[in-house]
Structure 1
Amino acid sequence: MALDPFLPLSSGGLAQIDQRSREIFRQIVESYLATGEPVGSRNIARLIPMTLSPASVRNVMADLEAAGLIYAPHTSAGRLPTERGLRFFVDALMEVGDVNERDRANIETQVLAAARTTTVEGVLQEASALLSGLARGAGVVTATKTDPRLKHVEFVPLEPGRALVILVSEDGQVENRALALPPGLPVSALTEATNFLNARIRGRTLSDARQEMDSLLAELNRDLDALTARVVEAGLASWSGDGPGERTLIVRGQAKLLEDLRALEDLERIRLLFDDLETKREVSELLGRAEEAQALRIFIGSENRLFSLSGSSTIVAPYRDGQGRVLGVLGVIGPTRLNYGRIVPMVDFTARLVSRILGAPGADAA
């Protein structure tokens, strides 16, 4: 699996940590990932596979704290890993295995079923929802907007003064926009506008239609009355900002983040994360950094500005098209105590499966 470490914490002084210290540190991190609670020297002394007194463990913990890998959340409490400590654990100590058989079967069954019955966007939505359920976090997917050929266009009345313009593409994608109507427009004008556009842009891309806007406008003025022509022009213009290459964001399963709250500070952290996820453009830009790296990425807490207040982690991997080009990323956003060892291979496997569905070379997910 291609894993791109974010910070080189395994170099320098941290690389000099001896085996005993690493084992104690590993127990602190694994306890935190399992329970979210601090762990004390007495419990660690019972857990580690070597004979050490609680006093000896406390001495090692003091060294780890001085190195910035752990901290005490309260006076006389146990210790928790810092974000720096989690990064060191992920880069240097975490053992990443394969996806377990149950998760593999769930992912393959549901994503492949979606591929047989829905569009590419539907497959991505299913992958996002599936990762959310398996990882107990929010599933996220970024996708690059394509420019498919159009199959059908229709103007549908909503209420006086408003209509819905619907575009259906040949690959089954459906998009719609609300449209303000000119005063005094008869309902029959919507039917006329629908027929006009279907006769001229079916089988063409929206980009083609925009490029031919001048000639279309000439036909509008010649063949349609002024009010109907304004409806057609507004319908085309409503898509003018959605050109191909623009990144979109799919988020599923935010409610999963509420299922394992342990304290009021957890609730506040999740509230802040929900606020972050509402700023979809900034989330897309963050995840775009993983697209540029073209490898699985792990962002922990304040390593990214957007999630620094909520203290959240992001695990994302790129998926590719039939030419091997990165189309977007998919993965999980959740608390810093995500089960990294389980979720990293799960995200990587799902990304390779989606790539295989999209025909990427060398993307065998089996």
Structure 2
Amino acid sequence: MIKTFAPAQTLATLDERSSEIFRRIVESYLHDGGPVGSRNLSRSLTQALSPATIRNVMNDLEQLGLIYAPHISAGRLPTQSGLRFFIDAFMEVGDLPPDTRTSIETQIHAAGNSQSVEQFLTEASQILSGLSRGAGLVLATKGEGALKHIEFVRLDPQRALVVLVMQNGDVENRIIELPAGVTQAQLIEAANYLNAHIQGLNLTDARREIARARDTIRTELDALSRHLVETGLAVWGGTANDLPARLIVRGRANLLEDIQAGDNLERLRTLFDDLERRENMLQLLDLAETGEGVRIFIGSENKLFSLSGSSLVVAPYRDSEQRVIGALGIIGPTRLNYARIVPMVDYTARLISQLLR
């Protein structure tokens, strides 16, 4: 079971009656998205309370910042803070129902037979979308394949194109900055050295191999070639903050079903703009990696989706060494069925981790 933690100070201010009214307001919102008024609440509470008494409690909850009235004389809706409080204080998240677990297992294992990892992850994104009625999202860091051949192609005096041919047939082109004064002969010399020493290694291991062989490089290559090799590999390998990645989103039409007004449509466009921004994609990895298991972000709680007002339920998936290599989750309106979606995302992430090892 995935645990949530209650903000004790706020919880202590609510008596049993206030807690029940607050929970009913949030549950009604999560169910149908609309505000609920005192008269309707009086029919559903376990305690017999008059609408006037309920209104007084609602006013207290509003003073605490947990609910608000969207219009004069309207019922109440939970605020973003109220939703967060509800999730932390009241939401119970248990195991997946057996039929849902079986459905995820069947679909994920079938997708695991895809021809490529990207196809597999695309299927996983689609599976999450179909099960949640939200948009399924998968962020996949670009895998480092084994190198077969490297070639340097000069573009201008300061830059060169690096052609990386992988053993699985993939070809990647990357641009590096050249040391001042490097010659074409030195480009060829550096490529020949690399092809002789790091064939079959991925870029991370190749970088380590070059570091270990640095003394040998000093004797076998002149200073410019050595600088080219060391600088080139450092650029290709990247860093944790500059890791090539693919963003896969499926089920956008599900979000459109929740559109009820023009401002919502504009917010949805903003969400998709956020998703397309290259510099923001890796924030998803940061969100997943900084906490254990599933994390829930409501509206402006994370900068990536602050303008669209959407919620994100996200979890990391890991390789055989327990390193985070990607993240998956569900994007939807703030009235997502969190109690159902959290274990769904968690279980899917664990299955994908197993299949990618």
User: Taking structure 2 as the reference length, what is the TM-score of the superposition?
Assistant: 0.75
- Alpha-carbon shift at residue 209 of structure 1 (Å): 7.1
1:104 aligns with 2:101: yes
- Alpha-carbon shift at residue 112 of structure 1 (Å): 0.8
Alignment partner of 2:311: what SS?
A: strand
Q: 1:135 aligns with which of 109, 132, 150?
A: 132
Amino acid at match of 1:35: D
Indicate the residue corresponding to 2:263 in structure 1.
265
1:49 aligns with 2:46: yes
1:144-293 equivalence runs, <5 A = 144-150=141-147, 167-170=165-168, 174=170, 176=172, 203-206=200-203, 241=236, 243=238, 246-247=242-243, 248-253=245-250, 254-293=252-291
Indicate the residue corresponding to 2:350 in structure 1.
352
Are residues 23 and 4 of structure 1, via their aligned partners in 2, closer, same or farther at CA, if it must alter by over 3 Å?
closer
Percent of residue pairs bearing the same amino acid type: 55
- Alpha-carbon shift at residue 315 of structure 1 (Å): 0.7
- Give unpaired runs (5+ residues) of structure 2: 152-162, 176-191, 221-227
Alignment partner of 2:293: what SS?
A: coil
- Give unpaired runs (5+ residues) of structure 1: 155-164, 180-195, 219-232, 360-366
For the residues of structure 2 that align with 1:151 and 1:355, how far apart are their CA atoms? 27
CA RMSD, 1 decimal: 3.5
Are residues 208 and 41 of structure 1, via their aligned partners in 2, closer, same or farther at CA, if it must alter by over 3 Å?
closer
Greater RCO, CA 8 A, separation 6+: 1
- Alpha-carbon shift at residue 280 of structure 1 (Å): 3.6
Indicate the residue corresponding to 2:58 in structure 1.
61
For the residues of structure 2 that align with 1:314 and 1:208, how far apart are their CA atoms? 35
For the residues of structure 2 that align with 1:356 and 1:209, how far apart are their CA atoms? 26
Alignment partner of 2:332: what SS?
A: strand
For the residues of structure 1 that align with 2:142 and 2:174, how far apart are their CA atoms? 20
The aligned length equals: 314
Alignment partner of 1:330: what SS?
A: strand
Query: Over residues 169-191 of structure 1, what are the superposed CA-to-partner deviations in whole Å (9 max), with x where a residue is unaligned?
Result: 44x8x455599xxxxxxxxxxxx
Indicate the residue corresponding to 1:229 in structure 2.
none
Are residues 142 and 357 of structure 1, via their aligned partners in 2, closer, same or farther at CA, if it must alter by over 3 Å?
same
- Alpha-carbon shift at residue 251 of structure 1 (Å): 2.8
Indicate the residue corresponding to 1:31 in structure 2.
28
Are residues 290 and 40 of structure 1, via their aligned partners in 2, closer, same or farther at CA, if it must alter by over 3 Å?
same
1:21 aligns with 2:18: yes
CA contact (8 A) 1:131 1:139 kept: yes
User: Taking structure 1 as the reference length, what is the TM-score of the superposition?
Assistant: 0.73
